[in-house]
Amino acid sequence: MSKFLSTLQQDISEPHLASLVCAILDITAVIAERVSHGALGDTLGATTQENVQGEVQKNLDVIANDLLVSTLLSHSAVRAIASEEEQHTVAGTAGAPYIVAFDPLDGSNNIDINAQIGTIFTILKARDDVPDASDEQFFQTGSQQVCAGYVLYGPYTTLVITTGKRVHEATLDRSAEEFILSKSPVVLPAGVRDFSANMANLFYWAPKMQQYMTSLIQPAPASERFNMRWQGAMVGDVHRILTRGGAFIYPSDSKDPAQPAKLRLLYEAFPMAMLVEAAGGCGYSETQPLLEMTLTSLHQRTPVFLGDKKLVEDCFKAAS
């Protein structure tokens, strides 16, 4: 395996962006270390607080968020940040070229059971037409992302990252405290009959979506059967799709009419769609390609279909 940064620099020629990406990698390595301590590191359990989403914050949510916020706000290339754990945009260095949005710890319900969790991030160019601390800094389309990635804290720590040209995968070498390139380019396998969906929501989906999803699990010859996997964390489920193929399926549902969609557009759907498309797949909401959507609210939610082009297009037809 070759050194990762030398490969990444082939895709990132702008020095401020390269420095920013390195800072993100360094702090996620610290988060990986904190995650690995488990019950020995006073990181398990929940706080008594809720985040802006109305979700009870886990101790590790707060730790990861604080580490990322501190690192990014002190970086000279960051004009503003947005986090799942922060209600509004937070200003950084005035006049800096980039803004960063992130989910500090996706899948935090998995923390206490030692299942998959991860950090998702996206980098965009800062806007000069709105104040630095305005949420409108992030009111851009998904296609305007300049870099996106995630770090999966599993049995080993994996980074998957793209600038839109190609997707790289790197593995954290804990002894050297650096990421080492392990796969490049990452190409999403086509024609794999796998899907990731929470089938417990089946009867809360629209009738056409129910019919389509039911058709995937009907008895069939072995060569035509679909396999289902669901890990309860977008970062883990999408990583499986990128690695093994298939589709990640998260439609809107009727459980809470005030909140029909769950996943956040800015720091979950946008970066994952950028990664999947750069790997040869595609990403849709129930109305249009995810990367064509424009953010209109910082914590805006959206249905998400990601992965194999044919499967995702079939999902889109069933949902639209």
Binding-site residue ranges for Mg(2+): 84, 103, 105-106, 268
Helices (H), 38-193: 59-73
DSSP SS3 for 167: strand
CA dist 308 and 273 (Å) reads 12
CB-CB contact of 275 with 150 (8 Å): yes
Largest CA distance in the chain: 61
Binding-site residue ranges for substrate: 198, 262
Both tokens of 280, joined, read 């040869």
E strand or H helix that includes residue 89: none
Binding-site residue ranges: 84, 103, 105-106, 198, 262, 268
CA dist 120 and 149 (Å) reads 6
CB-CB contact of 303 with 273 (8 Å): no
The dihedral region occupied by 201, where left means phi > 0, alpha psi between -120 and 50, and beta the remainder, is: alpha
Radius of gyration of the chain, Cα coordinates, nearest whole angstrom: 19
CB-CB contact of 59 with 77 (8 Å): no
